[in-house]
């Protein structure tokens, strides 16, 4: 005689084990993002841009996907806090390096030459419709993505938070409302993606007038 109760128990156990395996596999393959500090190698980080009369530095963080699947529609939110008194200062959306600059370029007439031809120069035109495309990115496994946190000019005490709007609202990308004077600050970096969120904190030190004189390090609560 067939043991019906034993057979039913085996079927139920097999189904239960399969469900557990599926749940574990789905958990293992999901995206897992981590925020890293790029290594400070000369001529690489911070990224120094030489201008006619001075230099400016762009300070980055890097997002790495240690999971098995992409993190879709990943956005960056950066909140800045005064370390000394805990006062919240401002919040900006981050811009992915791989995202477009909100600028378009087109030739502009400069003068008519003696032979009747028109001399042109390339003009720069702001276009804020490009900003959403710079703020959202799919982060794939094994392909790290950078974003800029700070901008600092040579021979200036202050530095500035950086976002897509820095191109449109800033003076050489400096936005007065996002100024960070000499001192120490906490940057709370939040990533939202695929219905999930992670939050990591970094310590920003700005004690030098050199373009490469600011520092970013991991923040550990004291």
Considering only CA atoms, which of 186, 121, 195, 135 is closest in space to residue 165? 135
User: What local confidence, expressed as pLDDT, does residue 220 receive?
Assistant: 82
Average pLDDT of the residues in 46-67:
92
Instruction: Tell me the three state secondary structure of residue 221.
Output: coil
Domains in the chain with CATH codes: 31-218 (2.60.40.10)
Structural contact between residues 199 and 213, judged by C-beta atoms closer than 8 angstroms = no
Whole-prediction pTM value?
0.80
- The alpha helices in 39-146, defined as continuous H runs, are 131-135
Rounded Cα gap, residues 125 and 211, in angstroms: 27
Q: The tokens of 38 are what? A: 């790029």
How sure is the predictor about 103, in pLDDT bands with cuts at 50, 70 and 90?
confident
User: What local confidence, expressed as pLDDT, does residue 42 receive?
Assistant: 60
Average pLDDT of the residues in 7-26:
47
The pLDDT tens digits for 168-211 are 998 989 999 999 999 999 999 999 998 899 999 999 999 999 99
What H or E segment, with its residue span, contains residue 12? helix 4-29
How sure is the predictor about 16, in pLDDT bands with cuts at 50, 70 and 90?
very low
Rounded Cα gap, residues 91 and 190, in angstroms: 11
């Amino acid at each position: 005689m067939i043991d019906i109760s034993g057979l039913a128990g085996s079927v139920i156990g097999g189904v239960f084990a399969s469900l557990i395996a599926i749940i574990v596999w789905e958990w293992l393959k999901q995206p897992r993002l981590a925020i890293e500090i790029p290594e400070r190698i000369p001529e690489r980080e911070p990224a120094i841009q030489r201008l006619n009369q001075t230099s400016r530095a762009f300070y980055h963080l890097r997002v790495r996907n240690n999971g098995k699947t992409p993190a879709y529609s990943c956005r960056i939110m950066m909140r800045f806090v005064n370390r000394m008194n805990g006062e919240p200062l401002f919040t900006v959306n981050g811009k992915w390096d791989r995202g477009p600059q909100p600028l378009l370029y087109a030739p502009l007439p400069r003068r008519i030459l003696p032979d009747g031809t028109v001399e042109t120069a390339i003009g720069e035109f702001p276009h804020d419709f490009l900003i959403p495309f710079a703020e959202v990115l799919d982060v794939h496994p094994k392909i790290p993505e950078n974003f800029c946190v700070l901008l600092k000019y040579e021979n200036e005490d202050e530095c500035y938070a950086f976002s897509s709007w820095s191109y449109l609202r800033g003076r050489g990308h400096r936005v007065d409302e996002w100024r960070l004077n000499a001192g120490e600050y906490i940057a709370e970096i939040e990533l939202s993606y695929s219905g999930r969120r992670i939050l990591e904190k970094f310590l920003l030190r700005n004690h030098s007038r050199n373009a490469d004189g600011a520092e970013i390090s991991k923040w550990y609560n004291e």
